Amino acid sequence: MHMKRSAAASLFLACIIAAVMATQNAGAAPDTPVPNITAIDSSLSWTIRGFNFPSWWHDEYLSQSSSDSLSRVATTGANWVAIVPTQFMNTVSSSTIAPEAGGAGRTASDDAVAKAIDDAHARGLKVMLKPHIDISDGTTRWEIHPSNPARWFSNYKLMMTDYASLAEAHNVELVSVGTELVTMSGSNYYDNWADVIAGVRSVYHGPVTYAASTTECDYLSFGGLLDYLGLDVYFSLSDNAEPTLEELMTGWTDYHGYYGDGNWLASIEEWQARWNKPVIFTELGYRSVKYVGLAPWDWSAGAYDGLNQEKAYEAAFRVLGNKPWLAGVFWWDWLVGENTGGPGNTDYTIINKPAEEVVKSWYALGLGQRTIGATVNSVGWGSYSDYEKRYLSVVYKIDNNGSGSASEVSVTSCRETAGVQTITSLPVNLGSLNSGNGSTAAIIYQVPEGVTSFRAFIDITFMDASGNPHHFPDALSI
């Protein structure tokens, strides 16, 4: 069943819970500092709202299908695409990098790449040029270990400066200097990367990034030479065949399963803070399959499930939509064939699948635009008895920032991390809110002993003046 276009108010609660003095009078409110709470809603703040648009054939970007597909990208509300040509090494130990079959194989020709860039610009889309390297024998690029690293880097620099010159000539807005070269990006090759990036900057005068694998966060050596930190994001979120939306959201910060334990969001934020650079998710994607959140990097066979893909996209938007360090996302991927995808297709593409409507809904949001908004108004222990029971009272301010009336406004559900539980019976009904007006909703959470921070997500539903239902936030200006 197709999910309604929806999103959620994501409120980050950083609650520093102090000890209560034993001498306090029973029944009196505890004389402790009010916990710190920062409220962050989920309006979409990304300036980069993109898709990867790869090609694995020399003349595919020259086709009418490519032009038509870019036109359809623009209808989603996207404002960027990544043009992705691929060159090849024969084996992981090769030191030579070249177009496949002398330019007659799976490498998009320079003319084709230029045409795709110009086609994207003609449709109002900005462009990241993102060259890839693959291995002809099917081995992954993560295993590259050239027999002559110096020669490999010399050839790689030549390839990248050629692409950078093409990017300059066609007014490309961003260049990626590499993608997931995990064995080649450590400190032992820092000088080589400094030389490659200097070569790119000598012929191209726009910003540069590098599309790192998540494993590279621990050792990528040249982040300081980039304008943006790029990350290809394929984290495990849930081990279930048909995970709920809540599971997929929670998986970003509290995954426990087959692939271990992880707070992926915290890891990314730590990496970002280390380099103090804005982050772009140069790839993020989910296949339309069962077990969508188990191994998102796995492109092997699976049973079709378009609803799973839709939920994974929705979860990502809700969790990531207003992170101040995230400049935006290039989803993986949008295929050149306009009418590819659809029911039964288990690939990453969202074309003709339910997730396409999710993207359209979120990309329709203006920068920071919201209609029904939620912020934390107050927080504290209601009484000493509440403190003893670990009942934390949070009052949310719910505002109608749209241009019309909202009726049947309700807080319909709450989800929390760290074992925190909602005590308040839901829904909390707020009635009608005229434009510019607000109300409050008090929610009581039971916070386990020893928990010093947690995240809480609240869903707010309402009806617009025409009687159409919506969840916060929504593109419709009510």
3-state class (DSSP) for residue 314? helix
pTM: 0.75
pLDDT tens by residue, 221-247: 999 999 999 999 999 999 999 999 989
The rounded mean pLDDT for the chain is: 87
Element containing residue 132 per DSSP (H, E): strand 132-135
Residue 19 confidence (pLDDT): 31
pLDDT tens by residue, 264-280: 999 999 999 999 999 99
pLDDT at 43 over 80: no
Confidence of residue 32 (pLDDT cuts 50, 70, 90): low
3-state class (DSSP) for residue 420? coil
pLDDT at 97 over 50: yes
Residue 56 confidence (pLDDT): 96
Cα–Cα distance between 229 and 223 in angstroms, integer? Answer: 7
The CATH architecture to which 48-363 belongs is Alpha-Beta Barrel (3.20)
Cα angle at 363 between 357 and 369, to 5 degrees?
Answer: 125
pLDDT tens by residue, 338-376: 567 899 999 999 999 999 999 998 887 666 545 677 778
Number of H helices, E strands in the chain: 9, 21
- Residue 367 class from Cβ within 10 Å (0-12 exposed, 13-18 middle, 19+ buried)? exposed
Residue 321 confidence (pLDDT): 85
Q: Say if strands 406-416 and 454-463 run parallel, antiparallel, or are unpaired.
A: antiparallel
Q: Say if strands 372-381 and 391-400 run parallel, antiparallel, or are unpaired.
A: antiparallel
Listed in order, the ranges of the chain carrying CATH 3.20.20.80 are 48-363
- The 8-class DSSP code of residue 33 comes to P
Confidence of residue 9 (pLDDT cuts 50, 70, 90): very low
